[in-house]
């Protein structure tokens, strides 16, 4: 008799995400994938050089579980200078396996069965699925796109005595919403009233448009003590595969989170921790301003194209995605019956990969007229993608 594996409940519900299967379909037609949030831009040379040096120098053994001291000090200084965090010691910094690894450590440090956690919709799927693994109950709250203001009443509606944590992603994937200071202040008021904590994901903190300002929740008076602030190197320095991120939180929280990080991963990749130091020591402000100008151009190219071919496009204020509505296009063409059909039509007719709107909502119907496109591509590749979209649907 054939052996039949009995999977744990938490593994049974895991399946290949839509994003991967679209990737395969796009590859099959030799198309351009604007689906997966993979940025294929080159890594800055000083960071690459330091990685090579660190490997040549055999910096290969485990590091301290919360990261090498110089990197924790550099992250601390950055958190103070750029994010206005009131952190004062490297003991408040945990370097982990990507911001995702830090999110896992934070979630497992704070949440367990019986707890409730608030997640805004549309959400980043990893947040949702990692939170589910903790056993906590997820309460989704609609947040809308870049121009939809945060409504504290919508959170009040789901808060119960078991609510413990709110997850805030700013700038947000997939919506491109950037939380304003006033919105974060009203969120903090609510957190204080209900004694809640926050885990923030600020991985897109440098991708900002039209003067949008990135504000870290933990910089607001009274917020730091109840917030874990997460960010990382993946997106800002084009090292998504290196798996390096970090969290900043008051020392008692950072200590537990670091121990959780130790248990799950031991440490982040050692030589790459040394390499990441170059981001702070060798790249100056012009790096970020160039990055912002380049992304603004990419955003313009893609958003204008999508608008011209009939999408309703809420231009993102931050991050590098656009969650566009194909309703107007569906009115005049076949193949756009729902998000899955639209996604397949774009692959077949334009050779373009996107992500179905359903991936970002608890109820798939909420995303049925949306597709997400990622514009973290070299400009010539993006120009080619836009040309293909215009040719097929213009």
Ligand X SMILES: Cc1ncc(COP(=O)(O)O)c(C=O)c1O
Taking the complex as a whole, how short is the minimal distance between the CB of residue 83 and ligand X, in angstroms? 16
Minimum Å gap between C-beta 203 and ligand X is 4
Residue 98 in the binding site for ligand X (CB under 6 A): yes
**CA 115 vs CA 44, 70, 190, 277: distances in Å:** 42, 36, 18, 37
At closest approach, how far in Å is the CB of 99 from ligand X? 3
C-alpha distances (whole Å) from 292 to each of 52, 60, 102, 170, 283 are 27, 34, 25, 16, 14
Least distance (Å) between residue 349 CB and ligand X: 27
Q: Which is nearer to ligand X, 33 or 388 (CB)?
A: 33
**For ligand X, the closer CB: 237 or 311:** 237
Would strands 227-232 and 32-33 be described as parallel, antiparallel, or unpaired?
A: unpaired
Which residues within the stretch 24-63 sit at the binding site for ligand X (CB under 6 A)? 37
Q: Are 93 and 268 in contact (CB under 8 A)?
A: no
Q: Taking the CA atoms of 44, 45, 50 and 51 in sequence, report the sign of the dihedral they define.
A: positive
CB of 364 vs ligand X, minimal distance in Å? 20
Q: Distance between CA atoms of 33 and 27, rounded to whole angstroms?
A: 8
Return the range that interacts with ligand X (CB under 6 A); candidates 50-58, 98-106, 343-351, 361-369. Answer: 98-106
Binding segment for ligand X (CB under 6 A), chosen from 95-103, 107-115, 220-228, 254-262, is 95-103
Interface segment toward ligand X; rule CB under 6 A; list 160-168, 232-240, 301-309, 382-390: 232-240
Greatest C-alpha distance within the chain: 65
For position 124 contacting ligand X by CB under 6 A, the verdict is: yes
Of 51, 107, 198, 203, the residue at the interface with ligand X (CB under 6 A) is: 203
Q: Is 289 exposed, middle or buried (0-12, 13-18, 19+ CB in 10 A)?
A: exposed
DSSP state of 318: B
Shortest Å, Cβ 240 to ligand X: 5
Q: Report the site for ligand X in 172-201 (rule: CB under 6 A).
A: 173, 201
Give yes or no for residue 109 binding ligand X (CB under 6 A).
no
**Looking at beta carbons only, is 33 or 240 nearer to ligand X?**
240
CA–CA separation, 76 vs 89, rounded Å?
7
Query: Closest Cα partner for 135 from 262, 15, 8?
Result: 8
The rounded distance, in Å, linking the Cα atoms of 132 and 145 is: 24
Task: Tell me the C-alpha distance between 207 and 148, whole Å.
Answer: 19
Q: Kindly report the CA angle at 202 between 235 and 372, in degrees rounded to 5? A: 65
Contact flags string 153-172 toward ligand X, x per CB under 6 A: ----------------x---
Give the count of residues interacting with ligand X (CB under 6 A).
13
* Tokens standing for residue 67: 């990261």
Residues β-bridged to residue 352: 32
Q: Which is closer to ligand X, CB of 187 or CB of 309?
A: 187
**Whose Cβ is closer to ligand X: residue 207's or residue 309's?**
207
DSSP 141-156: EE--STTSPP-HHHHH
Q: At its nearest, how many Å lie between ligand X and the CB of residue 45?
A: 21
Cis peptide before 171 (omega within 30 of 0): yes
Q: Are strands 163-169 and 197-201 parallel, antiparallel or unpaired?
A: parallel
Contacts of 36 (CB under 8 A, 6+ apart): 19, 20, 22, 23, 353, 355, 374
**Which string of x and - marks every residue 241-280 that binds ligand X (by CB under 6 A)?**
----x-----------------------------------
Query: Out of 33, 63, 83, 99, which residue is the one contacting ligand X (CB under 6 A)?
Result: 99
Question: Nearest approach, Cβ of 322 to ligand X (angstroms)?
Answer: 14
For strands 352-353 and 355-356, give the pairing: unpaired
Ranked by CB distance to ligand X, the top (closest) residue is: 98
Stretch that binds ligand X, among 16-24, 45-53, 96-104, 336-344 (CB under 6 A): 96-104
Among 232, 258, 314, 316, binds ligand X (CB under 6 A): 232
| Beta carbon of residue 2, minimum distance to ligand X (angstroms, whole number) | 37
Residues that bind ligand X (CB under 6 A): 37, 98-100, 124, 169, 173, 201, 203, 232, 234, 240, 245
């Amino acid at each position: 008799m054939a052996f039949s594996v009995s999977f744990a409940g938490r593994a049974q519900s895991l399946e290949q995400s839509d994003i991967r299967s679209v990737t395969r379909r796009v590859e099959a037609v030799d198309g351009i994938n604007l689906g997966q949030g993979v940025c294929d831009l080159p890594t800055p040379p000083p960071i690459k050089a330091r990685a090579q040096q660190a490997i040549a120098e055999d910096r290969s053994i485990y590091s301290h579980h919360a990261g090498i001291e110089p990197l924790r000090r550099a992250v601390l200084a950055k958190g103070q200078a750029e994010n206005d965090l009131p952190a004062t010691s490297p003991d408040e910094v945990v370097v982990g396996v990507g911001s995702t690894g830090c999110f896992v450590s934070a979630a497992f440090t704070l949440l367990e069965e019986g707890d409730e956690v608030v997640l805004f919709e549309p959400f980043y799927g990893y947040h949702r699925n990692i939170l589910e693994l903790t056993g906590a109950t997820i309460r989704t709250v609609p947040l809308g796109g870049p121009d939809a203001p945060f409504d504290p009443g919508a959170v009040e509606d789901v808060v119960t005595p078991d609510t413990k944590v709110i997850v805030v992603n700013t700038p947000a994937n997939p919506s491109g919403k950037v939380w304003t200071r006033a919105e974060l202040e009203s969120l903090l008021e609510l957190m204080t009233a209900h004694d809640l904590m926050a885990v923030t994901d600020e991985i897109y903190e440098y991708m900002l448009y039209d003067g949008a300002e990135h504000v870290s929740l933990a910089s607001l008076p009274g917020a730091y003590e109840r917030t874990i602030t997460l960010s990382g190197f993946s997106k800002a320095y084009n090292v998504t595969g290196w798996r390096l991120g970090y969290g900043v939180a008051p020392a008692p929280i950072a200590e537990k989170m670091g121990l959780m990080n130790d248990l799950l991963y031991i440490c982040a990749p050692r030589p790459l921790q040394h390499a990441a130091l170059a981001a702070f020591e060798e790249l100056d402000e012009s790096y970020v301003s160039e990055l912002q100008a380049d992304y603004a151009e990419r955003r313009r190219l893609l958003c204008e194209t999508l608008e011209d071919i009939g999408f309703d496009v809420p231009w993102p204020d931050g991050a590098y995605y656009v969650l566009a509505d194909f309703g107007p296009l569906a009115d005049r063409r076949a193949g756009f019956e729902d998000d899955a059909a639209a996604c397949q039509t774009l692959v077949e007719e334009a050779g373009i990969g996107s992500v179905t709107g359903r991936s970002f909502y608890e109820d798939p119907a909420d995303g049925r007229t949306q597709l997400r496109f990622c514009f973290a591509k070299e400009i010539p590749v993006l120009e080619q993608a836009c040309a293909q979209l215009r040719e097929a649907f213009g």
